[in-house]
């Protein structure tokens, strides 16, 4: 859908809005684990944002982070983690999170 939005903006020559479309594409691709496409669209978003936004704008900062290291950005694999419930699980009440206690006999 993000690429469709980009295409529509380009066809209608709405270049002032392309930075938003490129930013959306970068976030979506990073959210599904596509670092190269996320980087591509983050750089395009930066290119179109520089003329329109303040240097300290939040969107510019987020796009810089994705363009520099998409794997460390908070949005990395966000859609997949939510869909697959990959969030780290906290130990249940009364359970110990150390598994080493059960494997003491195996050390010899």
Residue 74, helix vs strand vs coil: coil
Query: How far is 67 from 98, CA to CA, in rounded Å?
Result: 38
Residue spans per domain, the chain:
2-9+16-84
Burial group, residue 23, by CB count within 10 angstroms (0-12, 13-18, 19+): buried
Q: H-type helices in the chain, by residue range? A: 2-11, 18-31, 35-49, 58-68, 78-84
Q: What is the pLDDT of residue 17?
A: 86
DSSP, res 16: G
- The residues, any chain, with a CB within 8 Å of residue 27's CB and separated by 6 or more, are 38, 62, 66, 75
**Segments of the chain scoring below 50 in pLDDT:** 99-101, 104, 107-108
24-49: per-residue pLDDT in tens? 999 999 999 999 999 999 999 998 88
Query: How far is 13 from 18, CA to CA, in rounded Å?
Result: 9
- pTM, full prediction: 0.67
């Amino acid at each position: 859908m993000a690429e469709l939005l980009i295409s529509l903006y380009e066809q209608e020559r709405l270049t002032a809005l392309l930075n938003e479309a490129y930013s959306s594409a970068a976030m979506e691709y990073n959210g599904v684990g596509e670092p190269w496409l996320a980087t591509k669209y983050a750089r395009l978003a930066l290119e179109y944002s520089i003329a329109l936004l303040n240097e300290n704008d939040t969107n510019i900062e987020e796009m810089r982070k994705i363009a520099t290291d998409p794997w460390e950005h908070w949005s990395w694999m966000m859609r997949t983690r939510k869909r697959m419930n990959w969030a780290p699980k906290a130990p249940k009440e009364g359970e110990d999170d150390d598994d080493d206690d059960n494997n003491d006999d195996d050390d010899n």
